[in-house]
Amino acid sequence: MSKSCHIRIPDPKVWDEFLDFVQKKWKKKHSAVGLELMYAIQYYLQAQKDVILEPEKSTHTSNHAQMVPNLHEDVPQPSPPDPPPELPNFVFKSKIVREVKNSVVPKLTRYKGSTVGIGMLRRLVADSCMVYDKRSVYSRINALISLGVLTEVNKGLYRVSLP
């Protein structure tokens, strides 16, 4: 179960750099920001566990030489945590996949092996699934791509390859 986190970051440049990093790595921000933030916190906690901290000694029982750390000793470097698991490009709810399989794929059978433009795909998906919001239509087109029904030939042009 996930945990909600609301924080204030004093330096907005740090947050902007973090968001840019997440966008470049995952090609999206939604759900990836939380994962990367969790990995950063895990990495930080692991590094803090690996650093050996001596308990603070009272100044009455110790001399100055014991209080000053030896800067020439090799400090063990923390080992990096395990790399994060890779997320799939698109994670779809089973409802969308089922809807696409049942209503859109049968209508695409007449275009098997041919190429279809994005405009025709949008109309076909909108009419078949009864969704007219741009994001909803594109989520169903992306579901068709992830199922292997569509492959992008050029920008806005897809080849229909049904089994």
Task: CATH number of the domain at 105, please.
Answer: 1.10.10
Q: Is it the case that residue 72 has pLDDT exceeding 80?
A: no
Q: Which of 54, 87, 120 is the last residue of a domain?
A: 87
| 30/98 same-domain check | no
Segment 78-122, tens digit of pLDDT: 566 666 555 554 455 677 888 888 888 888 888 888 888 999 999
Q: Is the pLDDT of residue 59 over 80?
A: no
pTM, entire model? 0.44
Q: Are residues 54 and 121 in the same domain?
A: no
Residues 118 and 74 reside in one and the same domain: no
Domain final residue, candidates 87, 119, 139: 87
Domain edge (last residue) among 87, 109, 132: 87
pLDDT at res. 84: 59
**Range 117-129 average pLDDT:** 90
> In the prediction, which pLDDT does 96 show?
80
Residues 30-58: tens digit of each pLDDT: 878 888 888 888 887 877 776 555 455 55
Instruction: Give the pLDDT of residue 22.
Output: 86
Q: Are strands 157-160 and 115-117 parallel, antiparallel or unpaired?
A: antiparallel
| Residue 1 and residue 57 in one domain | yes
Q: Look at residue 10 and tell me whether its pLDDT is greater than 80.
A: yes
Q: Domain limits at 69? A: 1-87
Average predicted confidence (pLDDT) for the chain? 77
Task: DSSP for the chain, please give it.
Answer: ---------S-HHHHHHHHHHHHHHHS--TTHHHHHHHHHHHHHHHHHHHS--PPPPPTTTS-HHHHS--TTSPPPPPPPPPPPPPPPS----HHHHHHIIIIIHHHHGGGTTSEEEHHHHHHHHHHHHT---HHHHHHHHHHHHHHTSEEEEETTEEEE---
Residues 100 and 83 in one domain: no
Instruction: For residues 54 and 71, state if they share a domain.
Output: yes
Q: Is the pLDDT of residue 77 over 80?
A: no
**Number of domains within the chain:** 2
Do both 29 and 69 map to the same domain?
yes
